[in-house]
Amino acid sequence: MELFPPDPAINLLPYDGTVQYFGRVLNPSEASFYLQKLLDSITWKNDEAVIFGRHIITKRKVAWYGDDAYAYTYSNTTKQALGWTEELQFLKQLVENTCCCRFNSCLLNLYHDGEEGMAWHSDDEKSLGENTVIASLSLGAERKFAFRHKQTKETTGLILENGSLLVMKDATQTNWLHSLPKSKKVRAPRVNLTFRTIVSGV
């Protein structure tokens, strides 16, 4: 028994947004089963971005799946969604049932180890609309996840456990940045799935 089990009724942000941590929604053996399935079956590609006019290819791998072949613009590059696989459909259902929300797409990230992370950003692309709900499922290595307010610079964070679910909603993307800091101590892979709702083509 955990002394203080995660309580999704608690908002992890002090103001200007809502972040809920549901804790583990898959037990460790289910989580490693799905981690391995996704490592084997997802069409992973190195992420590409255009930052300050430079074309960058990351070590981190990404994949994008959805209800339709959405063209999705992210970090100044456009990606095309693939159709849901059986595993993704199962995980989407689990996430939707847990947070009582529906999603039509999913961006997957594969961090091979702690040398790979994600820099400060917010998921505020036009295609997601305002006050979008993003549900983030983590499989594999435990990693820190951090938030920083765009104006006040206040920071907060948490550890994302293997098999855990985090939900970001309300004005979170408008007011807060988030990041996955690198960590030399982490030697194992992590797959993160962010379930999203695309509201318009861009």
Ligand X SMILES: O=C(O)CCC(=O)C(=O)O
By a kind-dependent CB cut-off of 5 to 8 A, residue 192 interacts, out of ligand X, Fe ion, none, with ligand X
Of 30, 96, 123, 124, the one binding Fe ion (CB under 5 A) is 123
Q: DSSP alpha helices (H): ranges in the chain? A: 28-41, 86-99, 172-175
User: What DSSP letter does each residue of 24-70 carry, written as one string?
Assistant: ESS-HHHHHHHHHHHHHHS--EEEEEEETTEEEEEEEEEEEEESS--
Q: Which residues contact 52 (CB under 8 A, 6 or more apart)?
A: none
Residue 136 binds ligand X, judged by CB under 6 A: yes
- What does the DSSP 8-state code read for residue 184? T
Total of chain residues touching ligand X, rule CB under 6 A? 11
Q: What's the sign of the alpha-carbon dihedral 21, 156, 143, 121?
A: positive
Give me the least distance between CB of 153 and ligand X, in Å please.
Answer: 19
Residue 124 binds Fe ion, judged by CB under 5 A: no
By a kind-dependent CB cut-off of 5 to 8 A, residue 106 interacts, out of ligand X, Fe ion, none, with none
Tell me whether residue 1 or residue 165 sits nearer to ligand X (CB atom). Answer: 165
CB-nearest residue to ligand X: 192
Residue 178 binds ligand X, judged by CB under 6 A: yes
How far, in Å, are 14, 122, 127 from residue 169 at the CA level? 14, 12, 15
Which of the residues 36 through 95 are near ligand X (CB under 6 A)? none
Cα 8 from Cα 109, distance rounded (Å): 24
Tell me whether residue 37 or residue 108 sits nearer to ligand X (CB atom). Answer: 108
Instruction: Sketch the per residue contact string, 144 through 173, with ligand X: x for CB under 6 A, - otherwise.
Output: -x--------------x-------------
Contact 173, 190 (CB under 8 A): no
Tell me whether residue 30 or residue 123 sits nearer to ligand X (CB atom). Answer: 123
Cα 56 from Cα 63, distance rounded (Å): 17
Give me the least distance between CB of 64 and Fe ion, in Å please.
Answer: 13
Of 133, 135, 165, 180, the one binding ligand X (CB under 6 A) is 180
Please tell me whether residue 200 adopts helix, strand or coil conformation.
coil
In the complex, the residues that contact ligand X under the rule CB under 6 A are 107, 109, 118, 123, 136, 145, 160, 178, 180, 192, 194
In the complex, the residues that contact Fe ion under the rule CB under 5 A are 123
